[in-house]
Amino acid sequence: MENNKIEFVRTRDCCKRFGISSSTWWRLVKEGKAPPAIRMATRTTVWRSDFIDEMAQLILDGKDWSHRQPSEQAEV
CATH number of the domain encompassing residue 50:
1.10.1660
Residue 1 lies in a domain: no
Please tell me which residue, 75 or 43, carries the higher pLDDT value. 43
pLDDT band, very low/low/confident/very high, at 67 (cuts 50, 70, 90): confident
Angle between helices 22-30 and 11-18 (to 10 degrees): 100
**pLDDT above 70: residue 1:** no
Residue 59 lies in a domain: yes
Residue 76 lies in a domain: no
Residue 64: domain span = 8-71
Residue 18 lies in a domain: yes
Tally of domains within the chain: 1
Residue 3 lies in a domain: no
The pTM assigned to this predicted structure is 0.80
Tell me the C-alpha distance between 8 and 66, whole Å: 20
